[in-house]
């Protein structure tokens, strides 16, 4: 009886923690405007404190800051649309702003940073400007899947593909559009709320009904700025109509931790991971689970660097391995490696106009679960 009570208490505690986190994420989207405008007001204040002779050298600077404020307002409008769209989808209630929510679950600086990153993720996954990055990261994965698991156009019994850590869902959506039976899986509420808005809440009345929304993904950038026009630059999304999937397509999104959601052995023909495996506390657990859920002969395609999400994060366990060690782990788990391509240039939510450029040398790994363990 005691064990049952303790277990129920633990479940209730987890539910409460999840509800608090849920509301904190919503309030982070709501707080984007206040936080971003505070930074702009500081920039304005510092400029006005310059000697008058110095201010006269840049007579248009206050107009630039005013333009930044306008862009922040437009970004905030999108954030509020994301908030409004997510209530029914995730907890069967309307999440309109309340004073109680705001006072009990104030966003943390890291949460506000995630909102800013989410806006950049929209650019990456669902805008024409993001096509370069998608070609760098998604196209190699799609090409490998298409080559090793071709579609069965005659029978219609197409391969199943799981995309863990799918972010805003574009890779999974593209695979479903091709004809694969595809499911995206995501843990982050920031990503889930935003992908729900893009995939399910944008109007889908016609084939031409896209490019409906505008964001300014770089508007909070103030260092390494080549021109202020690049900071004010707008991005329209989505670049395709998310509703335009073939009538026979099967596409779904699942919320939750990968290790909790996928435990059934021999289920998937393919697992596709992009910038994902290093989000684990223990990367070996991910590799073992991928092997477990693949059918014999199933294919794992992975592309990305090794950022190790939890490295140096206080109170979060993390083990970090070299890529050579990863390859050895993959072999020891039981995979047969059929492709190991390295030094693929890739950027991630990159501003091409910034004076600071980050580029990764990614690795493309293709591994197959043997038909027999003997």
Q: What is the DSSP string of 107-131?
A: PPHHHHHHHHHHHHHHHHHHSGGGH
Q: Using 50, 70 and 90 to split pLDDT, how confident is the model at 348?
A: very high
Question: Which positions ≥6 away from 19 have C-beta within 8 Å?
Answer: none
Mean pLDDT of the chain: 91
In this prediction, residue 99 carries a pLDDT of: 42
Inform me whether the pLDDT recorded for 1 exceeds 80.
Answer: no
For range 321-340, the mean pLDDT: 98
Task: Tell me the H-state helices in the chain.
Answer: 2-30, 32-48, 52-55, 61-91, 99-104, 109-126, 131-148, 170-178, 189-200, 228-232, 258-261, 283-293, 323-333
Inform me whether the pLDDT recorded for 197 exceeds 80.
Answer: yes
pLDDT-wise least confident of 22-31, 49-58, 81-90, 222-231? 81-90
At 158, list the tokens: 């197409």
In this prediction, residue 152 carries a pLDDT of: 87
Distance (Å) of CA 260 to CA 37, 184, 274: 39, 14, 19
Q: Using 50, 70 and 90 to split pLDDT, how confident is the model at 325?
A: very high
Task: Tell me the H-state helices in 149-268.
Answer: 170-178, 189-200, 228-232, 258-261
Question: Which positions ≥6 away from 293 have C-beta within 8 Å?
Answer: 162, 262, 263, 264, 265, 266, 267, 268, 271
In this prediction, residue 94 carries a pLDDT of: 44
Q: What percent of the chain has pLDDT over 90?
A: 79
What's this model's pTM, rounded to 2 decimal places? Answer: 0.91
CA atoms of 352 and 191, how far apart (whole Å): 23
Region for 76 from its dihedrals, namely left if φ exceeds 0, alpha if ψ lies in -120 to 50, beta otherwise: alpha
Residue 207 DSSP class: T
Q: Are 303 and 367 in contact (CB under 8 A)?
A: no
Instruction: List, as one string, the DSSP characters of 157-180.
Output: -PPEEEEET-TTSHHHHHHHHHT-
pLDDT digit string, tens, across residues 172-191? 999 999 999 999 999 999 99
Crossing angle of helices 131-148 and 170-178, rounded to 10°: 40
In this prediction, residue 351 carries a pLDDT of: 95
Task: Tell me the H-state helices in 201-239.
Answer: 228-232
Please, what's the largest Cα pairwise distance for the chain? 81
pLDDT-wise least confident of 63-67, 83-87, 142-146, 163-167? 83-87
For range 338-343, the mean pLDDT: 98
pLDDT digit string, tens, across residues 87-119? 655 654 444 444 444 445 688 999 999 999 999
How, if at all, do strands 268-274 and 160-164 pair?
parallel
Its CATH architecture, for the domain 2-368, is 3-Layer(aba) Sandwich (3.40)
pLDDT digit string, tens, across residues 262-306? 999 999 999 999 999 999 999 999 999 999 999 999 999 999 999
At 324, list the tokens: 């050579």
Question: Which positions ≥6 away from 359 have C-beta within 8 Å?
Answer: 345, 346, 347, 350
In this prediction, residue 20 carries a pLDDT of: 86
Q: Which residue has the higher pLDDT, 6 or 144?
A: 144
Q: Where are the domains of the chain?
A: 2-368
Please report, to the nearest 10 degrees, the dihedral formed by the alpha carbons of residues 18, 24, 214, 242 taken in order: 10
Distance (Å) of CA 82 to CA 30, 206, 263, 352, 369: 9, 22, 31, 26, 40
In this prediction, residue 95 carries a pLDDT of: 42
Q: Using 50, 70 and 90 to split pLDDT, how confident is the model at 214?
A: very high
């Amino acid at each position: 009886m005691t064990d049952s009570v303790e277990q129920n208490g633990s479940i209730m505690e987890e539910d409460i923690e999840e509800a608090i986190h849920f509301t904190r994420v919503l309030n982070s989207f709501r707080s984007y405007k206040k936080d971003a405008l505070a930074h702009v007001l500081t920039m304005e204040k510092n400029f006005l404190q310059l000697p008058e002779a110095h201010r006269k050298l840049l007579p248009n600077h206050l107009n630039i800051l005013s333009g930044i404020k306008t862009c922040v307002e437009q970004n905030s409008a999108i954030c509020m649309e994301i908030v409004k769209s997510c209530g029914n989808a995730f907890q069967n209630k309307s999440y309109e702003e309340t004073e109680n929510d705001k006072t009990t679950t104030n966003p943390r600086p890291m949460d506000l940073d995630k909102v800013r990153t989410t806006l950049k993720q929209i650019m990456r996954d669902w805008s024409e400007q993001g096509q370069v990055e998608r070609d760098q990261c998604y196209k190699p994965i799609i090409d490998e899947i298409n080559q090793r698991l071709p579609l069965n156009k005659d029978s219609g019994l197409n391969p199943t593909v799981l995309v863990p850590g799918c972010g805003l869902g574009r890779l999974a959506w593209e695979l479903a559009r091709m004809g694969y039976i595809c499911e995206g899986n995501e843990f982050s509420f920031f990503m889930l709320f935003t992908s729900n808005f893009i995939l399910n809440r944008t109007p889908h009345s016609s084939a031409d009904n896209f490019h409906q929304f505008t964001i300014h993904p770089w508007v909070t950038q103030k260092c390494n700025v080549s021109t202020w026009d690049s900071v004010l630059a707008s991005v329209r999304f989505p670049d395709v109509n998310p509703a335009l999937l073939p009538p026979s397509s099967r596409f779904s999104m699942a919320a939750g931790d990968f290790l909790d959601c996928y435990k059934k052995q021999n289920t998937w023909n393919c697992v596709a991971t992009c910038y994902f495996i290093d989000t684990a506390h223990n990367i070996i657990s991910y590799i073992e689970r991928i092997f477990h859920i693949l059918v014999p002969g199933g294919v794992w395609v992975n592309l990305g660097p090794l950022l190790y999400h939890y490295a140096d994060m206080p109170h979060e366990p993390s083990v970090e391995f070299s890529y050579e060690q990863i390859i050895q782990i993959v072999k020891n788990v039981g995979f047969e490696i059929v492709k190991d391509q390295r030094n693929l240039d890739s950027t991630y939510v990159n501003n091409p106009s910034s004076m600071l450029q980050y580029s990764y040398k990614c690795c493309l790994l293709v591994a197959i679960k043997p038909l027999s363990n003997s």
